[in-house]
Amino acid sequence: MRTSRAVLLLISVLIALTGCTFEWQVEGPAEPALTSVGQGDVPAGTFEPSAASAALAGLAVAEKTPLEGYERGCGEGEGCVFGPAWADVDRNGCDQRNDVLQRDLTDVQVREGTQGCVVVAGVLDDPYTGAVLPFAKAEAAEVPIDHVVPLAAAWVQGAAAWTPEQRALFANDLTNLIATTRAENSAKGDSTADEWVPPDPTYGCSYATVVITVKDRYALTVTPPEAAALEGLLATC
């Protein structure tokens, strides 16, 4: 403590003698970002198509295991194998849902007194459909956050063997989260790429790159039909 005070005193004396002024800046947490892969926007860190193709070839191919033991609900008296929804796992002072909204929406408005965190309004350009719709906090359910690799799919393709901590990190990983419409989120459900693809065909390439990036990062398996579907989507890049 005394050393720190001495250093500050010395800096003050030097400033007074030289007449120089300094602007002190403290960097906050890095803003989540989107990048362009193929024909659409994807979370930062997503593979380029060529890298995704190589990663797909390296994924283990296996049939899905039983869903036994999976429980997503986190209400009172319920278990939740992937932990509480939207934890602030990156410790930036804002939960993951609001991080995604700030990343994926435009014309974002935030609630005062929340340190720029809680999104109350904005506009979503839905990557899955190409539809544009307004977001309002009062009707937040209209713009849910999709797990690109669904939690239930992850469970039957490797996550059942993870620790609770690993599953909580996966469930809140921004690389695997995209804002979309309620209708499309419901239509997709727990489907893998052989069972569902984005209605907007121009997003197929980007969707595949996100799925493969996440599966590669977490060493999740793919089924033979899923691998074929992902390969077909990459062919559109």
Strand partners, 35: 42
pLDDT band at 78 (very low <50, low <70, confident <90, very high): very low
Mean pLDDT computed over 183-198? 97
**CA 207, CA 38: separation in Å to the nearest integer?**
9
pLDDT band at 38 (very low <50, low <70, confident <90, very high): low
Average model confidence (pLDDT) across the chain? 85
Say if residue 223's pLDDT is above 70.
yes
**CA 88, CA 150: separation in Å to the nearest integer?**
19
Query: Which ranges in 113-180 belong to alpha helices (H)?
Result: 151-155, 164-171
Domain range spanning residue 161? Answer: 30-234
Mean pLDDT computed over 138-162? 97
207 is a domain residue? yes
61 is a domain residue? yes
155 is a domain residue? yes
For residue 58, give the nearest of 217, 236, 191 by alpha carbon. Answer: 217
22 is a domain residue? no
Which one is predicted more confidently, 134 or 27? 134
Say if residue 73's pLDDT is above 80.
no
Say if residue 64's pLDDT is above 50.
yes
Q: Is 194 exposed, middle or buried (0-12, 13-18, 19+ CB in 10 A)?
A: middle
Tally the domains of the chain.
Answer: 1
195 is a domain residue? yes
Q: What is the largest CA-CA distance in the chain?
A: 74
Output the CA angle 29-30-34, nearest 5 degrees: 145
pLDDT band at 72 (very low <50, low <70, confident <90, very high): confident
